Amino acid sequence: MLALSVLMRWSDRAAEGPAKPDVTVRLALAVLYTCGSSGERRCYDEFWRLLSDPGLESQHKEQRDHIRRSYCDTCIKGIVTDVGAPHTPDFWASISNMAERDDQEPDGER
């Protein structure tokens, strides 16, 4: 669940504009891919690509950022399916809470 919370946090960042993914995203995607059952990398690769993609199909920055966030969330849902996690409100709430707690920790205490 920690790896999914990392992706959720980065998806939130995607709503603010393109960002260069760091080693935490790479590690989270690798762990989740290893736990996946399909052997299909599309959702994982697409999530990585979308984080830093400045050229989505809209001319307006706000729309591009919204589209980027929506596509990242779609990739996360595909990854959740691949790893066999439940698509329940309680599951999503727990992942979201982990991501929020991690964002509230002061730097250096992670």
Q: Give the rounded percent of residues in the chain with a pLDDT score beyond 90.
A: 56
Of 86, 79, 90, the closest CA to residue 6 belongs to 79
pTM listed for this prediction:
0.84
Section 81-102 average pLDDT: 87
H helices of 1-110, where? 2-14, 23-35, 42-52, 61-83, 89-104
Would the pLDDT of 107 be above 80? Answer: no
Task: Check residue 22 and give its pLDDT.
Answer: 94
Query: Which band of pLDDT confidence, cut at 50, 70 and 90, is reported for residue 63?
Result: confident
Domain ranges of the chain: 2-104
φ, ψ dihedrals at 86, nearest 5°: -75, 145
Would the pLDDT of 86 be above 80? Answer: yes
Cβ proximity of 28 and 46 under 8 Å: no
